[in-house]
Structure 1
Amino acid sequence: MLILNFIVEDMLEYRISDQWTAYKEEDVEKAATVKEIILNDVWWDKVDYIIAFIASIYDMLRVTDTNKPTLHLVYDMWDTMIEKVRATILRHEEKEVNDQSTFYDVVYYILIDRWTKSCTPLHCMAHSLNPRYYIDEWLAEASNWVPPHMGTEIAVERNKCLRKYFPNPDDRKMATKEFARSSGGQDIFGDFDSLQDRWSLEPKVWWLVYGDSTPLHQKVALKLLSQPCSLSCCERNWSTYSFIHSMKRNKMTPKRAEDLVYIHTNLHLLSRKNESYTIGQSKMWDIGGDEWDPLEGAGVLAIANSSFFFFFF
């Protein structure tokens, strides 16, 4: 809602500017329509609803569109995002939790269809290897959540992944037994420290500390828990490469172009450690880049510097 307030203030400020005067004289009918929309509270309520509705979807996409390891979080994020979308729609329609919504049914079908196309056995395998999803703290967040080893859909996709990782039947049988031990809290996985650290430690660290008794599963876990789920970081490098090795600079050798891309990317990362990144005119110059961690004031900064003319037209 804070962002909406900035937009409204920017629009109202534009109405008294010289640009608005010139535009109003040029097209009186359109100017009247614009004025009516700006001052219409019902229209702004609809905008607020749209932003609230898509915020959960955008947040999830923004998290996955990074170079951070998020493969093991995707399955849970999709479920959480769908629940948030449902809650927003029902709240707007003034319905109870168990009530039906025709609009939500349409949205749900679209989201599930998209998830069905993008979901892979790796998502389910990585989800199963996250130790946090087996403890009461996580299960208590929603009444319909179950541990990964008890979900039928996840089990089917996980077994596909195991067959791919371990084509040898003996190795696959051993890996299955190791998964049963880790997910069922047997042996060292049932120790007090192991159970407590499932929530407090990062998943990869937890497997490094407690996974040595299940070497096959530990090896897979360390791979999947370190893997991003998006190729966006690679695509950004390709975009940088195409900018450096352009039609006007086509005599550059591939090795030199790769070195320049390497330098550009690492200078980008190193610049975030400088004090000038958070202060001065060039602060947060790469806002909206690879990081999804909240940057204080970033959203306000982006909106405050926008003009009504740019936003509306």
Structure 2
Amino acid sequence: MSMICYTDTDNPCLEEVYDGIDLMIEEMKVIINAKEQDPEETFLKEVQSICVEQCNKMTTSLHLLAFALTPEFYSDEVLAKPSRVPPYRDSEVSEGCRTTLTKLFPDFEMEDLMSIEFLNFVASNGQSVSALRDKYKKDAHSWWYLNGHTSPNLQTLAIKLLSQVASSSSSERNWSTYSFIHLVKRNQLAASKAEELVYVHLNLRLLTQTKRVQGWEHKVLGCRSRAN
């Protein structure tokens, strides 16, 4: 509950979801071991399996890439803590980053370029003394703005990704649309059918907004051409 409340804000915290879940499971292990006298850790394993199953539904490869692009997790202050390692040494994080970069950049040359820039970021190549010091002091979004010029393509991706919030606003909008579709008089709709109708409704609204913006752009361009 504390983890959900922490991330359900209007502030960007996408990069902290994976790390927060990891720390949450470790704290639960300490609490359960202190209260349960179970040498085989049966209860602990059961609780951990439930938490891991639910957390896997909450996290995606984008969360893993955001975690790997957070400078704080490479700082000496964080790595000095017990059992802390850089994100690139986590096999799950590395696999998630590779999967995300492949999806975002299907062009092989661009993917290779992003991989090289990511390697330079992890190895701190070309980073100044102030950039290394700011890894722990500044938030990830600000750090990339100030110190990401050595990896311009990765900087653009990191700023976009680390600007995302992890709130439930999008889910609440989805539930609001679902309430209009699954009414008392239409309560016999199958779940799959209702989900398809919600999907169509949301995408139609998105297309309408896109066409409206494009229409305004055409009007502005038309006014400029007549003015010229």
TM range (shorter): 0.7 to 0.9
Q: Does 1:140 find its partner at 2:83?
A: no
Question: Could you list the runs of 5+ residues in structure 1 that have no partner in the other structure?
Answer: 1-57, 244-253, 255-313
Contact 1:66/1:233 (<8 A) preserved: no
CA deviation string 1:184-225 (max 9, x = no partner): 1111x2x22111100001111000011012111001100111
Map of 1:218 onto structure 2? 155
Work out the CA distance in 1 between the residues paired with 2:178 and 2:109. Answer: 47
Work out the CA distance in 2 between the residues paired with 1:122 and 1:109. Answer: 23
Question: Which amino acid is 1:114 matched to?
Answer: Q
CA deviation string 1:118-138 (max 9, x = no partner): 321101100000001112211
Residue 15 of structure 2 aligns to a residue whose secondary structure is: helix
CA deviation string 1:96-155 (max 9, x = no partner): xxx542111100011111222332110110000000111221123332x21012221111
| TM-score (normalised: structure 2) | 0.72
**Aligned partner (choices 185, 193, 199) of residue 130 of structure 2:** 193
Map of 1:127 onto structure 2? 67
Work out the CA distance in 1 between the residues paired with 2:18 and 2:120. Answer: 22
Work out the CA distance in 2 between the residues paired with 1:121 and 1:240. Answer: 27
Map of 1:67 onto structure 2? 10
Question: In the TM superposition, what is the alpha-carbon distance from 1:235 to its structure 2 partner?
Answer: 4.3
Residue 93 of structure 2 aligns to a residue whose secondary structure is: helix
Work out the CA distance in 2 between the residues paired with 1:238 and 1:163. Answer: 29
Work out the CA distance in 1 between the residues paired with 2:107 and 2:119. Answer: 18
Work out the CA distance in 2 between the residues paired with 1:178 and 1:112. Answer: 32
Q: 1:81 to 1:193 in 2, by over 3 A?
A: same
Question: In the TM superposition, what is the alpha-carbon distance from 1:238 to its structure 2 partner?
Answer: 6.6
Residue 90 of structure 1 aligns to a residue whose secondary structure is: helix
**Aligned partner (choices 13, 26, 34) of residue 91 of structure 1:** 34
Question: Which amino acid is 1:131 matched to?
Answer: P
**Aligned partner (choices 151, 158, 165) of residue 90 of structure 2:** 151
Work out the CA distance in 2 between the residues paired with 1:202 and 1:240. Answer: 34
Work out the CA distance in 2 between the residues paired with 1:101 and 1:140. Answer: 28
Question: In the TM superposition, what is the alpha-carbon distance from 1:237 to its structure 2 partner?
Answer: 5.5
**Aligned partner (choices 42, 52, 56) of residue 116 of structure 1:** 56
Work out the CA distance in 1 between the residues paired with 2:170 and 2:24. Answer: 26
Q: Does 1:203 find its partner at 2:140?
A: yes
Residue 167 of structure 1 aligns to a residue whose secondary structure is: coil
Question: Which amino acid is 1:79 matched to?
Answer: D
Aligned residues: 181
Question: Which amino acid is 2:98 matched to?
Answer: N
Which protein is bigger by CA-based radius of gyration? 1
Work out the CA distance in 1 between the residues paired with 2:178 and 2:43. Answer: 43
Map of 2:166 onto structure 1? 229
Q: 1:115 to 1:166 in 2, by over 3 A?
A: same
Work out the CA distance in 1 between the residues paired with 2:163 and 2:95. Answer: 23
Work out the CA distance in 1 between the residues paired with 2:105 and 2:7. Answer: 28
Question: In the TM superposition, what is the alpha-carbon distance from 1:242 to its structure 2 partner?
Answer: 10
Map of 1:169 onto structure 2? 108
| TM-score (normalised: structure 1) | 0.53
Residue 165 of structure 2 aligns to a residue whose secondary structure is: coil
Contact 1:75/1:127 (<8 A) preserved: yes
Question: In the TM superposition, what is the alpha-carbon distance from 1:64 to its structure 2 partner?
Answer: 2.0
Identity fraction in percent: 32
